[in-house]
Amino acid sequence: MFPISLIIFFLSLPSVLHSLNYVKLPLPLFAVGPESSAFDAAGAGPYTGVADGRILKYVNPSVGFVDYGVTSPNRSKALCVGYSIPALGPTCGRPLGLGFNNLTGDLYIADAYLGLLVLPKNQTIATQLATSANGVPFRSPDGLDVDPGLSGPAGTAVSPDGTFVLVTEFIGKRIQKYWLKGPKANTAEVLITFKGRPDNIKRNPGGDFWVAVNQETIIPLVMKPEGIRLDANGTVKESRPINLQYGTTLVSEVQEFSGALYIGSMFTNFIGVYN
């Protein structure tokens, strides 16, 4: 039998490690809700969208985040900064999912009110590309992924070779795999189901996928946020609890970049980073 002190050490070790390896990237005053993050081809960032319609870019620890662009051409700084009134959404915009086309440097944006947009490099106002698909209006676009010649709606990630796209279903508690090429082209299958609700999904440099999953607890309507890494076959390769720092706050994205995990949430005023 283990000595009681050794048992206590093992039980407390994960908490200590998470605390030592976790930092916050605070947003500017009045900015809140960094649901998604993206990095450009040069590795700069993270870039993120916030509730008042701005897209911010993180420069360094001394500078922090700076304004990078907006999604609405009608946005008024006096009216929109720090807003929390949904009625102002169509005027101010609400950028959620972000993804760069590394070939062009263009930033593609899923805006809850304005649909699919693109913000070209060296411009500050995004251009609206689409508000519907096949005659069906977009309803609160949430996330996207970018593949040369292909862009997608909320909760999507394209495989490294472009043969399939993964789509998360927050309500359905699952991920579907839709084949784009090959003998299974234009067919779909359920890749994995969860006990919680998956939000955004992002491909990592190794070809696996990180999913932000808000696991359900025994207490109704209370969630335990977690980052889950899975491969193209739906096998879970890693599970990273993040409730020690987030409690029951819902998280929307886990993005791996340069050996760190960047955590997005619509309900915080910072981006969390696990090194």
95-101 β-sheet, strand order: 95-101, 106-111, 115-119, 127-130
% helix / strand / coil in the chain, to the nearest 5? 10, 45, 45
What is the rounded end-to-end Cα distance, in angstroms, of the chain?
34
Superfamily of domain 21-274 in the CATH hierarchy:
TolB, C-terminal domain (2.120.10.30)
pLDDT at 6: 31
pLDDT of residue 11: 32
Model confidence at 15: pLDDT above 50: no
Q: With b meaning 16 or more CB within 10 Å and e meaning fewer, what string describes 66-78?
A: eebbbbbeebeee
Q: What is the arithmetic mean of pLDDT over 232-247? A: 92
| Residue-averaged pLDDT of the chain | 85
pLDDT higher than threshold 90 for residue 23? yes
Q: Which residues contact 135 (CB under 8 A, 6 or more apart)?
A: none
Q: Highest mean pLDDT: which of 6-20, 71-85, 104-118, 238-252?
A: 104-118
pLDDT the model gives residue 4 = 33
Number of H helices, E strands in the chain: 4, 24
pLDDT digits (tens, 9 = 90+) for 177-216: 999 999 998 898 999 999 888 999 999 999 999 999 998 8
How far apart are alpha carbons 205 and 185 in whole angstroms? 25
Does residue 14 surpass a pLDDT of 80? no
By C-alpha distance, which of 141, 51, 161, 52 is closest to 99?
141
Instruction: Report the distance separating Cα 122 and Cα 106, nearest Å.
Output: 9
Tokens of 97: 């999912």
pTM over 0.85: no
